[in-house]
Amino acid sequence: MQTRAIARNVGHPSRKVRRVTDAIKGRRVSEALAILKFLPNMPARDVYKVVASAAANAENNYSMDPDELWVTNAIADEGTTVKRFRARPHGRASRILRRSTHITVYISDDPSEITRRARANVRAR
């Protein structure tokens, strides 16, 4: 059975969050949490919280064993973009885009549900 957790409008660009989510796809939850704890990237903290939340959902709502859980997929979709401007010389303005991300993590107790892309990502290491 598969469970998920979602964090919406996280204050990091999705391009930077995808670097973190690619590191944990197809791994055991305990291994993924250990990796996220020591990654130097700032979005790793938010991804850590989502993975821990998905594991808690699986354990509490579906009585799954936390030692047998796998990260089947982790997705970083583009969230809302806040548009600002910065003053420039000669009365001009340049645009500043503050991007956000929706992070979704899927967890399962069956390792056969791991997506093909995640499985290839683990083998490459």
Q: How confident is the model at residue 53 (pLDDT cuts 50, 70, 90)?
A: very high
Domains in the chain, number: 1
Question: Is residue 101 over pLDDT 90?
Answer: yes
Domain that holds residue 33: 2-123
SS3 of 62-99: HCCCHHHCEEEEEEEEEEEEEEEEEEEHHHEEEEEEEE
Return the CATH number at 42.
3.90.470.10
Tens of pLDDT, residue by residue over 20-52, are 999 999 999 999 999 999 999 999 999 999 999
Q: What's the pLDDT score for residue 98?
A: 96
Mean pLDDT of the chain: 92
Q: Is 41 helix (H, G, I), strand (E, B) or coil?
A: coil
**What pLDDT, on a 0 to 100 scale, did the predictor assign at position 58?**
95
